A and B are shown apart, each in its own frame.
Chain A
Amino acid sequence: MNFTEREWWTLVHGMILGAAFLLAFAGGLAELYSLKPALMTREGVVERMRRVRIGVTAMAVAAWATVITGTWVVYPWYREKTPDSPRSQLLADPDTADWHEFGMEWKEHIAWLSPILATAVVFIVWYYGPGLIRHNRVRHTTITLFVLAFAFAAVAGAFGAFITKVESVQ
């Protein structure tokens, strides 16, 4: 029951940071959605704003950590110019080549949109603060960006999981 160093890093990149990202998204979305007068009390504003800030900031941090470890730690092993690297293995078989040529090629780029959008959300929440409660237009815009950040990460994460299933970094 041992993991190699590479397998540990793929676990950190895909499972640990991925789980943190999912948790932060779920919490952040629920808090952002319910940030409206009918669902709040005056006494609860400080606590609710703290939870919103923690949720969106945690998601952005997880998103940055995921793309940085993915691009700079795991990806070099994936694309090594050796016959047994995952990239070489996928491209060697016409039945699996699309996993690289479409799946990996899209994943490695689109994933970077997630932390950029999540950071914009962090800025909005910290800048506007409790103003979001009364300002539906800004709150809805923030939710849209937050969901988009999640959607791009979900595309990248899904392809990552599929590719790892077909040919994993070891």
Chain B
Amino acid sequence: MEPKNGATPTPSGREEDFPLSDKVEGPISAAIIAAGVGATALGLLTTLTEASTAVQDGLQWSDSVGPLSGKTVLAVIVWLLAWGVLYAVLHNKPFETVRALVISLVLIALGILGTFPPFFQLFA
């Protein structure tokens, strides 16, 4: 369709109009895998809390929130620590993001399993 003001429309770009990034994928992969580690940590803590009253008591960092307080804060701490360590290891490496995604999806699946009530309630 012709523009009403008669201007020539700007054509959409070709591949070569946009620069290829020279940044390595390592830092991206570190972030992706770390997210999976955080998910697994939450799943593991959830199941352990159900299995052990000692863990449950230990993670009750707030009386009003209950053990969920310790589980979530600790999972976030594990995620951030994992991110820091993985970044230090991978920041200058060409670690492919698809590999990182596969690893992360496996870890996320473990996290989902660990937080899935019919699973963790088996350990009650």
Which A residues are closer than 8 A to B by beta carbons? Answer: 37-43, 45, 67, 71-72, 75-76, 79, 101-102, 105-106, 108-110, 112-113, 116-117, 119-120, 123-124, 127-135, 137-138, 141, 144-145, 148
Q: Please determine whether B72 and A128 come into contact, CB atoms closer than 8 angstroms.
A: no
Q: Please determine whether A138 and B117 come into contact, CB atoms closer than 8 angstroms.
A: no
Q: Complex: how many Å from CA A88 to CA B10? A: 63
Q: Complex: how many Å from CA A101 to CA B119? A: 12
Instruction: Give the A-B contact count at a CB cut-off of 8 A.
Output: 122
Which B residues are closer than 8 A to A by beta carbons? Answer: 10-15, 17-21, 23, 25, 27-28, 31-32, 34-35, 38-39, 42-43, 46, 62, 64-66, 68-69, 71-72, 75-76, 79, 96-98, 100-101, 104, 108, 111-112, 115-118, 121
Residues in A with CB closer than 8 Å to B71 are 109
Residues in B with CB closer than 8 Å to A117 are 35, 108
Does more than half of chain A's interface fall in helix, strand or loop, or is it mixed? helix
Q: Please determine whether B72 and A112 come into contact, CB atoms closer than 8 angstroms.
A: yes
Question: Which residue of B has the minimal Cβ distance to A118?
Answer: B35
Residues in A with CB closer than 8 Å to B32 are 120, 124, 141, 145
Q: Please determine whether B108 and A113 come into contact, CB atoms closer than 8 angstroms.
A: yes
Task: Give the distance to chain A from B68, nearest Cβ to Cβ, in Å.
Answer: 6
Q: Please determine whether B65 and A71 come into contact, CB atoms closer than 8 angstroms.
A: yes
Q: Complex: how many Å from CA A112 to CA B78? A: 13
Question: Which residue of B has the minimal Cβ distance to A138?
Answer: B97
Q: Please determine whether A37 and B112 come into contact, CB atoms closer than 8 angstroms.
A: no
Q: Complex: how many Å from CA A124 to CA B32? A: 9
Question: Which single member of A76, A116, A133 contacts B35 (CB below 8 Å)?
Answer: A116
A41-B10 CB under 8 A given contacts A120-B32, A127-B27, A137-B96: yes
A-B contacts, 15 listed (Cβ < 8 Å): A37-B18, A38-B12, A41-B12, A42-B13, A76-B62, A101-B121, A105-B117, A109-B71, A109-B115, A110-B115, A127-B27, A127-B28, A129-B21, A135-B20, A141-B100
Q: Please determine whether B96 and A116 come into contact, CB atoms closer than 8 angstroms.
A: no
Q: Please determine whether A38 and B97 come into contact, CB atoms closer than 8 angstroms.
A: no
